């Protein structure tokens, strides 16, 4: 079995240098060429190959910096835990991999930001076009899009399986006997909104879509959910169920219903989206679609790492969701909703 001394002799360096390189000693002053030569010789001599692969990756990543481009303000993130969870997932996975986040931008327009083309890669959360991304990092194709509406050729992307999620919501409400189902949601500044698209598609296919029961504004806030539900309650023929595009909006909608004395779920069934922590503690506990935003963030880092290591073909990752049934829609509560700590 090869030893550190064998590697040192072949590399023309001291055993101490080999040991420090293989143990990823960041205080060691040695050229990248020397590091690569030591790793190559260690692999050739089959020196602890499994551990060597990890050490080589750590050494490589310790000299890399990536950026995060976030299409939402800190205030908006504070009001919607979904985006905070994506960012947290990115940061946790980078910490596990010893990968440095060199720059974090928050903006609705990347063209207003100072470029950093020397970054090894970029994770984009939210909606930006290719020109804006190129403004920041040039022609670097090591880019991962998270929760981006639509795809950009040449870049990896991660998004939720919205079509399946909405189908499960609609079918569940229909199974409970609802025939007039409304939708409340944000518009994404007028852009394509998958929850609304698939909601319309599902009900149109069944001949049950009533455009009067679809309300959509540019915000995904609790206040917007409150105001949109108040609008919905002015409709002459009220719905008996409502699918709401985010849990913060659904919480606002519940407040409006309580103020009007409308029983949930007796007079109006409610289903939200995201399964934020608070959704299990409102009254009544909220039926919702569970997304996995922190896992989306972690997966984004993993995809970016693969691109940095040489993968050429872009990948599109679709993450499944889960319908969590609680009391707000009148269905039988799921096992996971019995203990809020499980969500």
Q: How far apart are CA 136 and CA 184, in angstroms?
A: 35
Q: How far apart are CA 163 and CA 166, in angstroms?
A: 5
C-alpha of 59 from chain center: 28
53: three-class secondary structure by DSSP = helix
Residue 113 carries which DSSP code? S
**Mean pLDDT score, 108-127:** 88
Instruction: Say which residues have a Cβ less than 8 Å from residue 239's Cβ, sequence separation at least 6.
Output: 178, 180, 181, 182, 210, 213, 232, 268
State the span(s) of the chain assigned CATH 1.10.260.40: 1-44
User: For 280-307, b where at least 16 C-beta lie within 10 A, e where not — what string?
Assistant: bebebbbbbbbbbbbebbbbbbebbbeb
Q: Which CATH number fits domain 1-44: 1.10.3720.10, 3.40.50.1110, 3.30.565.10, 1.10.260.40?
A: 1.10.260.40
Q: How far is CA 264 from CA 63, 109, 222, 279, 297, in A?
A: 55, 40, 18, 14, 34
Whose structure tokens read 């852009």? 191
Q: How far apart are CA 120 and CA 12, in angstroms?
A: 31
Q: Is the pLDDT of residue 182 over 80?
A: yes
Q: Which CATH number fits domain 65-159+294-319: 3.40.50.970, 3.40.50.2300, 3.60.20.10, 3.40.50.1220?
A: 3.40.50.2300
Higher pLDDT, 49 or 208: 208
Q: Quick one: which H or E segment has residue 144?
A: strand 143-146
Q: Is the pLDDT of residue 55 over 90?
A: no
Higher pLDDT, 292 or 332: 292
User: How many CB atoms sit inside 10 A of residue 30's CB?
Assistant: 13
Cis peptide before 45 (omega within 30 of 0): no
**Portion of the chain with pLDDT greater than 90, in percent:** 55
Q: How far apart are CA 247 and CA 220, in angstroms?
A: 9
Q: How far apart are CA 280 and CA 260, in angstroms?
A: 22
- Across 6-15, 108-117, 159-168, 181-190, the highest mean pLDDT is recorded for 159-168
| Backbone Cα Rg of the chain | 25
Q: How far is CA 84 from CA 64, 102, 163, 191, 297, in A?
A: 24, 19, 24, 22, 10
Q: How confident is the model at residue 342 (pLDDT cuts 50, 70, 90)?
A: very low
**Mean pLDDT score, 175-199:** 85
Higher pLDDT, 97 or 180: 180
* Cα pseudo-dihedral 166, 170, 172, 178, rounded to 10: 160
Q: What pLDDT was estimated at residue 343?
A: 42
Q: Is the pLDDT of residue 100 over 60?
A: yes
323: three-class secondary structure by DSSP = strand
Lowest mean pLDDT among 172-181, 304-313, 329-338: 329-338
Whose structure tokens read 């959360």? 125
Q: Which CATH number fits domain 162-291+323-342: 3.40.50.2300, 3.40.50.1000, 3.60.15.10, 3.30.70.330?
A: 3.40.50.2300
Lowest mean pLDDT among 34-38, 264-268, 336-340: 336-340
Q: What pLDDT was estimated at residue 236?
A: 86
| Pair 35, 62: CB distance under 8 Å | no
Q: What pLDDT was estimated at residue 73?
A: 84
Question: Residue 324 corresponds to which tokens in the numbers above?
Answer: 């969590």
Q: How confident is the model at residue 177 (pLDDT cuts 50, 70, 90)?
A: very high
| Pair 64, 308: CB distance under 8 Å | yes
- Across 24-28, 38-42, 120-124, the highest mean pLDDT is recorded for 120-124
Q: What pLDDT was estimated at residue 341?
A: 45
pLDDT tens for residues 203-254?
999 999 999 999 988 788 899 999 999 999 999 889 999 999 999 999 999 9
Q: How far apart are CA 89 and CA 299, in angstroms?
A: 8
State the span(s) of the chain assigned CATH 3.40.50.2300: 65-159+294-319, 162-291+323-342
What phi and psi, each to the nearest 5 degrees, are found at residue 47? Answer: -85, 105
In 3D, which of 104, 4, 11, 20 has the Cα closest to residue 62? 20
Question: Residue 170 corresponds to which tokens in the numbers above?
Answer: 């609609």
């Amino acid at each position: 079995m090869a030893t550190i001394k064998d590697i040192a002799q072949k590399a023309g360096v001291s055993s101490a240098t080999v040991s420090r390189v293989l143990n990823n000693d960041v205080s060691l002053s040695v050229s990248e060429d020397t590091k690569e030569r030591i790793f190559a010789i260690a692999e050739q001599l089959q020196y602890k190959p499994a551990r060597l692969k990890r050490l080589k990756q750590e050494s490589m990543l310790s000299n890399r910096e990536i950026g995060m481009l976030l299409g939402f303000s800190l205030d908006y993130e504070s009001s919607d835990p979904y985006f905070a969870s994506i960012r947290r997932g990115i940061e946790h996975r980078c910490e596990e991999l010893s990968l440095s986040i060199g720059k974090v931008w928050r903006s609705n327009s990347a063209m207003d930001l100072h470029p950093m083309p020397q970054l090894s890669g970029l994770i984009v959360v939210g909606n930006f076009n290719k020109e804006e991304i190129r403004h920041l990092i040039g022609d670097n194709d090591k880019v991962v899009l998270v929760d981006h509406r639509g795809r950009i050729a040449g870049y990896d992307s991660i998004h939720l399986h919205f079509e399946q999620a909405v189908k499960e919501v609609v079918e569940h409400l229909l199974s409970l006997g609802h025939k007039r189902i409304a939708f409340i949601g944000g518009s994404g500044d007028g852009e394509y909104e998958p929850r609304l698209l698939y909601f319309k598609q599902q009900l149109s296919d069944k001949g049950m879509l009533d455009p009067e029961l679809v309300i959509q504004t540019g915000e995904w806030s609790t206040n917007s959910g409150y105001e949109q539900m108040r609008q919905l309650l002015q409709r002459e023929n009220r719905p008996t169920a409502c699918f709401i595009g985010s849990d913060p909006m659904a919480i606002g909608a519940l407040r409006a219903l309580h103020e009007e004395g409308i029983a949930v779920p007796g007079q109006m069934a409610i289903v939200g989206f995201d399964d934020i922590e608070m959704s299990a503690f409102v009254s009544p506990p909220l039926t919702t679609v569970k997304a996995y935003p922190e896992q989306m963030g972690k997966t984004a880092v993993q995809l970016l790492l693969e691109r940095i290591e040489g993968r050429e073909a872009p990948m599109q990752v679709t993450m499944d969701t889960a319908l969590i049934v609680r009391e707000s829609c009148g269905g039988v509560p799921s096992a996971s909703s019995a203990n809020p700590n499980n969500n």
